[in-house]
């Protein structure tokens, strides 16, 4: 393996690790804000394109934050389903809306799993 190829591969690994670290930090911040400060930062970020960017471009964020959202929904006692859009178990089946990506389901069509 040439030094240039090795350097490019290390750079790619570093970028992947940085994205994972960023995703974990953001997920912690959102969860901490809600549980300790009673601030729903998720909803504030959903008001603009920032949340969409996190879900669609930093997909590792959805993988990291999805289980926290799912645990919160289950703790509230409602039925939870899997979202066909983001792939996380974050659909509030009562409201027919994914609490992570915001995807909405209409009755009898596009039902979550």
pLDDT bracket for residue 112 (50, 70, 90): low
Look at 13 and 32; give whichever has higher pLDDT. Answer: 32
Quickly state the pLDDT bin for 38 (edges 50, 70, 90): very high
Full DSSP string of 29-85: HHHHHHHHH---HHHHHTTSHHHHHHHHTSHHHHHHHHHHHHHHHHHTT--EE--TT
Sort strands 91-92 and 80-81 into parallel, antiparallel or unpaired.
antiparallel
Q: What is the pTM of this model?
A: 0.80
pLDDT tier for residue 39 given thresholds of 50, 70 and 90: very high
Residue found under tokens 């879900």:
55
The DSSP output letter for 96 is T
- Locate 14 and state its tokens: 């570093």
* Sign, Cα dihedral of 28, 89, 35, 96: positive
pLDDT digits (tens, 9 = 90+) for 53-108: 889 888 899 999 999 999 999 999 989 999 999 999 999 999 999 999 999 998 65
Q: Say what the pLDDT of residue 110 is.
A: 60
């Amino acid at each position: 393996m040439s030094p240039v190829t090795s350097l490019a591969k290390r750079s790619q690994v570093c970028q992947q690790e940085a994205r994972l670290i960023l995703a974990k930090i953001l997920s912690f911040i959102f969860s901490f804000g809600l549980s300790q400060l009673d601030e729903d930062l998720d909803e504030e970020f959903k008001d603009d394109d920032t949340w969409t960017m996190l879900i669609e471009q930093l997909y590792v964020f959805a993988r990291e934050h999805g289980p926290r959202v799912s645990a919160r929904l289950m703790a509230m006692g409602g039925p939870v389903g899997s979202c066909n859009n983001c792939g996380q178990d974050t659909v509030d089946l009562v409201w027919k809306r994914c609490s992570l990506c915001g995807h909405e389901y209409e009755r009898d069509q596009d039902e979550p799993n």
